[in-house]
Chain A
Amino acid sequence: MLGIDEILETNEMIDRQHLDIRTVTMGISLRDCAGSGATEAARRIYDKVTRSAEKLVRVCGEIEREFGIPIVNKRVSVTPIAIVAESSGAEDYTVFAESLDRAARELGIDFIGGFSALVHKGFTAGDARLIDSIPRALAGTERVCASVNVATTRAGINMDAVRRMGETVKRAAELTAPSGGFACAKLVVFANAVEDNPFMAGAFHGTGEPELVINVGVSGPGAVKNALRSARGAPFDVVSETIKKTAFRVTRMGQLVAREASLRLGVPFGIVDLSLAPTPAAGDSVAEILEEMGLSSVGAHGTTAALALLNDAVKKGGVMASGHVGGLSGAFIPVSEDAGMIKAARSGVLTIEKLEAMTCVCSVGLDMIAVPGDTPAETIAAIIADEAAIGVVNNKTTAVRIIPAPGKRVGDTVDFGGLLGTAPVIPVSGGESGTFIARGGRMPAPLGSLRN
């Protein structure tokens, strides 16, 4: 029989250290919903999403109850809408976002991802229309998330797309000015986007995915931090081993839930995303793990090294615990969603430059960062270009989810509520990047992409 200490340890991790399944995300192909006529295509999209994910929330509720483990979010990702909508003849794709939004409300899920386009090498007509529609689509809906992939290691960086995304982010912020530019919290600009990411706002159902799929994202920064308490003062070899053990347990739980959900929904299991995803709740912070390693605050010198070790150990511990690992897999550093990051950004110890360095060694990129509302579109585009370069050269996913909060200045705060948290407005470089961004064209793929 299991030991009493093992049972109590598991329940302690769940009850006090915020261990949970962060998301069970059902990927749904909408390729069969394309067709002539926007109204008909939008109706098909609504019907397919609501029919396919009909049981998602109920089944996740049953699993939560039986295993005693919270499943925080139930979500849906769909085929990039630029592909589905292209043959509809519509000029404005907002109608498709509205259809997805209605479906999400009907299903009782908080976010649906896939108002997306993949334009790393160039735009089709549908891609261009989708990007033009993003600000209105996000401002006019509640639960729809958008993402655009502007670069890959194989294709290089589409600098025309980078420029357009700088403008798109600004426009999305302006259209949702009363809520602090909330639309930007639902918009991710990627380099090397993955097809099976279960996390919002960047989830979409890639074209290489099956008809339906279940992807699961685990979490547990609190459990990792708690485990590290027992290793205070120990060398980094011990720190790494301790994180690996915790990551293994957390991921095994994720695998179990993924298998159960897949079985009960009759939908194939895709991947478990080996992630450490924080929330604004006290004790559920990635920043606090880095501080537990001995830094006075996240952002202090040593932060990049600490994060690199954390990210590596999470993967090493998690990979043996799941049959299929995928998604973004690594530690997330969304500033507004992590109490430790919020505190450090507010005090000025954590700067955008340090965050950029951190993105070289962790899961994604500049995430949920609020900058002054008067930041020019070209500067936003240049920030995207820098992140894309990091991703392309290092053969990893990077992303930018940035909020130029209208009317806000450095030192102000933007409150998004719920899991999206609170973002202190932090400064960007005072230098200008307009002439650089105006060049457009494509930055060629790096030499490292020629691996055949």
Chain B
Amino acid sequence: MRAIVTVIGRDRVGIIAEVSGALARAGVNILDITQTVLQEYFTMIMLTDISGFEGAFSGLADLLGECGERLGMSVRIQREDIFEAMHRL
């Protein structure tokens, strides 16, 4: 199953390291990364494959939520399907 991780907040050192580290420990494979700075905010989108994560989706969401708290940023994960449904025929 594929999921999108969205990271938004003020830019700082170590964002990718923190998020990708958390994902690696959870067994989540990163398939693609896009990042940009929008209106002074660092914005990163990661396409991930979460089939390697053992446990309920909510566990992964909690894990990334904690990661966001450590960074002082918004970090969330959503299944890719919702974006596909809204933007692809």
**B residues in contact with A1, CB < 8 Å:** 31-32, 34, 47
Q: Are A68 and B43 in contact, CB atoms less than 8 angstroms apart?
A: no
Residue among A8, A10, A67, A69 making CB contact with B43, cutoff 8 Å: A8
**A residues in contact with B88, CB < 8 Å:** 2
**A residues in contact with B16, CB < 8 Å:** none
Q: Are A10 and B57 in contact, CB atoms less than 8 angstroms apart?
A: no
**Chain B, 32-58, CB within 8 A of any chain A CB:** 32, 34, 36, 38, 43, 45, 47, 56-58
Shortest distance from the beta carbon of B27 to any chain A beta carbon, whole Å: 17
Known: A1-B47, A62-B57, A66-B79. A7 touches B4 (CB 8 A): yes
- How many of B's residues come within 8 Å of A, CB to CB? 27
Bound CA span A67–B57, Å: 10
Bound CA span A256–B86, Å: 9
Residue among B36, B43, B79, B84 making CB contact with A2, cutoff 8 Å: B84
Q: Are B58 and A10 in contact, CB atoms less than 8 angstroms apart?
A: no
Q: Are A68 and B87 in contact, CB atoms less than 8 angstroms apart?
A: no
Q: Are A253 and B85 in contact, CB atoms less than 8 angstroms apart?
A: yes
Is B61 an interface residue, CB under 8 A from the partner? Answer: yes
Bound CA span A10–B45, Å: 13
Write the A399-422 contact mask toward B (1 if CB under 8 angstroms, else 0): 000000000000000000000000
Bound CA span A4–B37, Å: 11
Bound CA span A255–B81, Å: 11
Known: A66-B57, A67-B81. A10 touches B76 (CB 8 A): no
Residue among B4, B32, B56, B81 making CB contact with A256, cutoff 8 Å: B81
**B residues in contact with A7, CB < 8 Å:** 4, 6, 45, 83
- How many of A's residues come within 8 Å of B, CB to CB? 20
Write the A225-255 contact mask toward B (1 if CB under 8 angstroms, else 0): 0000000000000000000000001001101
Residue among A66, A69, A249 making CB contact with B87, cutoff 8 Å: A249
Q: Which of B6, B36, B58, B85: most chain A Cβ within 10 A?
A: B85
Write the B3-27 contact mask toward A (1 if CB under 8 angstroms, else 0): 0101000000000000000000000
Residue among B34, B38, B78 making CB contact with A67, cutoff 8 Å: B78
Is A11 an interface residue, CB under 8 A from the partner? Answer: yes
**Chain A, 176-205, CB within 8 A of any chain B CB:** none
**Chain A, 1-32, CB within 8 A of any chain B CB:** 1-4, 6-8, 10-11
A interface residues with partner B (beta carbon < 8 Å): 1-4, 6-8, 10-11, 62, 65-69, 249, 252-253, 255-256
Q: List 13 A-B contacts (CB under 8 A).
A: A2-B4, A2-B87, A4-B43, A7-B6, A7-B45, A8-B6, A10-B86, A11-B76, A67-B81, A69-B82, A249-B87, A253-B86, A256-B85
B interface residues with partner A (beta carbon < 8 Å): 4, 6, 31-32, 34, 36, 38, 43, 45, 47, 56-58, 61, 76-88
